[in-house]
């Protein structure tokens, strides 16, 4: 069958790489893709949010399966667009519809869902301009630190952890009255700060049952030792040694199972990935957030560890048969290290020529492109995160070391990456 992947990052390159390996895949298209996805299929220069353009491409190329990579088209209703249109109803599409995508698109929606299904999460209250004064009073009485979350999508910047009441009050005012995050901040969730170790679990659901995928941890800060500004993710590792049978059982029982039951009971149209961000506090898991898609760069370690035919898995999710799949996981460790442009996550330049991509001489390593493009006959940088180098090893330390060795082959002006990805597991 012909398959279309929507998106342009490292996650989509990893998806394309894996889908390309399936005998069930005839032609593969990526919209818009990047210089890396062009090695796996045909890039179509259509923006991920151009539903009309995507529909036309799907019809022109006889697409039978679509995988939506990023959250924005999901939250904007790309699944609804395809399933409500008579000409595209027959296409299997991986991702929740607009209503269900609120699990990621609205923090208040997600918190209400967790509360209804008794899923452990930080205590919270939500506020709008209508109860603005109550919000001020709530902050004044809240213990420190105080977590403020813009309700809507804010490109990963909508969560603020405030260490003083003054800071929290000032941020609350800027979000609510001065539209610091645009409409995303019209509603604000204020919640308890959770201490602990962060990790993520991923499931593929057909709306009734689910398949648990390998777990992962990402490294969000720009600097070594988890210092400096937040980024989209500087690296990821899988598996996690502390994710033992006892913790896994607890997470399944108290979080994954009730989440999928909630999706089923609410009759959500949800055939796709649920990415559950967790904080493990003294052995007890709490949900920090739901995402309605896979993570980036988590995908670059999760997907390589899956040995199954990925198209078979996706079709099972799309057709209500996810229970028929048994996951077969590579026992080796995988580490992805992300190389970024100089200046990221602040302003950075693009179109720097990238050398060394073509003949990867380091075994057990893979280059997944995030922000790359073609210019004349070269591959050039085209984003803050430029590429993720994933390597396998017998453990995280070895995989990280192989990833760094492979990274030595890559050159572009201003290249930066963290040398310490996975450090707690060494």
Which uninterrupted H or E stretch holds 222? strand 221-223
Closer Cβ to ligand GLY, 36 or 235, answer by number: 235
Following DSSP, what letter does each residue of 116-177 receive, concatenated?
HTT--B--EEEE-GGGHHHHHHHHHTSPSSEEEEESS--TT--EEEESSHHHHHHHHHHHHT
Residue 50's binding partner among ligand AMP, ligand GLY, none (Cβ under 5 to 8 angstroms by kind) is none
DSSP SS3 for 184: helix
Residue 298's binding partner among ligand GLY, ligand AMP, none (Cβ under 5 to 8 angstroms by kind) is ligand GLY
User: Contact between 80 and ligand GLY (CB under 6 A)?
Assistant: no
Do 37 and 43 form a contact (C-beta atoms < 8 A)?
yes
Task: Report the residue from 5, 147, 339, 388 that binds ligand AMP according to the rule CB under 6 A.
Answer: 147
Closer Cβ to ligand GLY, 135 or 239, answer by number: 239
**Whole-angstrom distance, CA of residue 2 vs CA of residue 163:** 51
- Give 259's contacts (C-beta < 8 A, 6+ positions apart): 117, 119, 203, 274, 276, 290
Instruction: From 83-91, 259-267, 292-300, 409-417, give the range in contact with ligand GLY by CB under 6 A.
Output: 292-300
- Give 335's contacts (C-beta < 8 A, 6+ positions apart): 235, 236, 237, 301, 390, 391, 393, 396, 399, 400, 402, 403, 421, 422
Task: Report the nearest approach of ligand GLY to the CB of residue 336 (Å).
Answer: 10
Total residues contacting ligand GLY by CB under 6 A comes to 6
Task: Report the nearest approach of ligand AMP to the CB of residue 281 (Å).
Answer: 9
Instruction: From 16-24, 126-134, 187-195, 239-247, give the range in contact with ligand AMP by CB under 6 A.
Output: 187-195
Which uninterrupted H or E stretch holds 264? helix 257-265
Q: What angle do CA 123, 124, 126 make, to 5 degrees?
A: 170
**Whole-angstrom distance, CA of residue 411 vs CA of residue 366:** 16
Task: Report the nearest approach of ligand AMP to the CB of residue 167 (Å).
Answer: 15
Task: Report the residue from 233, 239, 272, 371 that binds ligand GLY according to the rule CB under 6 A.
Answer: 233
Residue 198's binding partner among ligand AMP, ligand GLY, none (Cβ under 5 to 8 angstroms by kind) is ligand AMP
Task: Report the nearest approach of ligand AMP to the CB of residue 10 (Å).
Answer: 17
Following DSSP, what letter does each residue of 327-396 receive, concatenated?
--B--SEEEEEEEE-TTTTS------B-BS-S---STTEEEEESSEEEETTEEEE-SSEEEEEEEEESSH
With CA atoms as reference, report the closest residue to 385 among 334, 345, 336: 345
User: Contact between 221 and ligand AMP (CB under 6 A)?
Assistant: no
Residues 189-228: x where in contact with ligand GLY by CB under 6 A, - otherwise, as a string: -----------------------------x----------
Task: Report the residue from 53, 77, 262, 277 that binds ligand AMP according to the rule CB under 6 A.
Answer: 277
Residue 218's binding partner among ligand GLY, ligand AMP, none (Cβ under 5 to 8 angstroms by kind) is ligand GLY
**Whole-angstrom distance, CA of residue 237 vs CA of residue 196:** 18
Residue 386's binding partner among ligand GLY, ligand AMP, none (Cβ under 5 to 8 angstroms by kind) is none
User: Contact between 291 and ligand GLY (CB under 6 A)?
Assistant: yes
Please tell me the chain's helix, strand, coil percentages from 3-state DSSP, rounded to the nearest 5. Answer: 30, 30, 40
Residue 206's binding partner among ligand GLY, ligand AMP, none (Cβ under 5 to 8 angstroms by kind) is none
CA distances (Å), origin 198, targets 67, 116, 220, 285: 27, 24, 11, 9
Closer Cβ to ligand GLY, 199 or 354, answer by number: 199
User: Contact between 288 and ligand AMP (CB under 6 A)?
Assistant: yes
Task: Report the nearest approach of ligand GLY to the CB of residue 143 (Å).
Answer: 27
Neighbours of 326 (CB within 10 A): 7
Task: Report the nearest approach of ligand GLY to the CB of residue 362 (Å).
Answer: 24
User: Contact between 198 and ligand AMP (CB under 6 A)?
Assistant: yes
Residue 296's binding partner among ligand AMP, ligand GLY, none (Cβ under 5 to 8 angstroms by kind) is ligand GLY
Task: Report the nearest approach of ligand GLY to the CB of residue 231 (Å).
Answer: 9
- How many CA atoms lie less than 13 Å away from 310 in the CB half-sphere? 25
User: Contact between 362 and ligand AMP (CB under 6 A)?
Assistant: no
Residues that bind ligand GLY (CB under 6 A): 218, 233, 291, 295-296, 298
Residues that bind ligand AMP (CB under 6 A): 122, 147, 156, 159, 161, 191, 193-194, 198, 220, 277, 288-289
């Amino acid at each position: 069958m012909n398959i279309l992947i929507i998106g342009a990052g490292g996650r989509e390159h990893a998806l394309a790489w894996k889908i390309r390996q399936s005998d069930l895949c005839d032609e593969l298209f990526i919209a818009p893709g990047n210089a890396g996805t062009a090695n796996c299929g045909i890039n179509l220069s259509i923006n991920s949010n151009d539903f009309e353009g995507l529909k036309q491409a799907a019809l022109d190329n006889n697409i039978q399966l679509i995988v939506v990579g990023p959250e924005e088209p999901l939250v904007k209703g790309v699944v609804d667009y395809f399933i409500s249109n008579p000409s595209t109803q027959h296409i299997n599409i991986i991702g929740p519809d607009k209503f269900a995508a609120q699990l990621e698109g609205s923090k208040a929606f997600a918190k209400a869902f967790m509360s209804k299904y008794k899923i452990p999460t930080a205590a919270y209250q939500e506020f709008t301009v209508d109860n603005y004064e109550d919000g001020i009073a709530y902050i004044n009485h809240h213990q420190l630190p105080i977590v403020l979350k813009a309700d809507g999508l804010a490109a990963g910047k909508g969560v603020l952890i405030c260490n003083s009441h003054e800071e929290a009050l000032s941020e609350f005012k800027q979000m609510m009255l001065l539209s610091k995050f645009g409409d995303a901040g019209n509603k604000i969730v204020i919640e308890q700060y959770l201490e602990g170790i962060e990790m993520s679990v991923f499931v593929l659901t057909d709306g009734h049952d689910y398949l648990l995928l390998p777990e992962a941890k990402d490294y969000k800060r720009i600097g070594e030792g988890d210092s400096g500004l937040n980024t989209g993710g500087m690296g990821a590792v899988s598996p996690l040694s502390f994710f033992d049978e006892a913790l896994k059982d607890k997470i399944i029982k108290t979080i994954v199972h009730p989440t999928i039951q909630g999706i089923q009971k609410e009759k959500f149209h949800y055939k796709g990935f649920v990415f559950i961000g967790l904080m493990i506090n003294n052995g007890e898991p709490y949900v920090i957030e739901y995402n309605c898609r896979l993570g980036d760069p988590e995908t670059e370690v999760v997907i390589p560890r899956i040995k199954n035919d990925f198209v078979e898995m996706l079709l099972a999710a799309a057709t209500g048969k996810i229970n028929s799949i048994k996951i077969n996981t590579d026992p080796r460790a995988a580490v992805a290290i992300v190389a970024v442009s100089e200046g990221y996550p602040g302003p950075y330049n693009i179109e720097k020529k990238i050398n060394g991509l073509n003949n990867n001489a380091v075994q057990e390593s893979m280059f997944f492109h995030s922000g790359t493009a073609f210019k004349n006959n070269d591959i050039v940088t085209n984003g803050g995160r430029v590429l993720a180098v994933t390597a396998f090893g017998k453990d995280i330390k070895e995989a990280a070391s192989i990833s760094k060795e492979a990274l030595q082959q890559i050159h572009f002006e201003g290249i930066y990456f963290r040398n310490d990805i996975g450090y707690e597991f060494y």
